[in-house]
Amino acid sequence: MIDFDKEHGYKLKITQEAGPETEAHNNQRQEPHMAHLPREVATQSATQTAHIPDFSASAVTCPPAQAVAAAAGAPPVIAGESRAAYDELLGRMTRSLAPADVLEHMFLRDVVDLAWEVLRLRRLKANLMACAAHQGVAELLRPLVEEADDRALLARGWAARRDGAVEKVESLLAAAGFGPDHVAAATFASAIFDMERIDRMMAAAERRRNSALFHIEHHRERFGRELRRALDEVTQPALDPASATAGQA
Q: Cβ(219)–Cβ(226) under 8 Å?
A: no
Rg (CA), the chain: 33
- Amino acid at position 62, single letter: C
Contact 189, 136 (CB under 8 A): yes
pLDDT tens track for 118-164: 999 999 999 999 999 999 999 999 999 999 999 999 999 999 999 89
**DSSP string computed for 15-41:** -----HHHHHHHHHT--GGGTTS-HHH
pLDDT in tens, 10-24: 444 444 444 545 444
| Amino acid found at 57 | A
> Per-residue pLDDT averaged across 85-103, rounded?
88
Phi, psi (5° rounding) for residue 231? -65, -40
Question: What are the extents of the domains in the chain?
Answer: 1-51, 52-129+194-248, 133-190
For residues 247 and 238, the answer to whether their CB atoms sit within 8 Å is no
CB-count burial class (<10 Å; 0-12, 13-18, 19+) for 201: middle
Q: Which of 96, 105, 101 is nearest to 71 (CA)?
A: 105
pLDDT tens for 60-92 read 344 677 888 888 888 999 999 999 999 999 999
Question: Is the predicted pLDDT of residue 4 greater than 70, yes or no?
Answer: no
pLDDT recorded at residue 118: 94
This prediction has a pTM of: 0.62
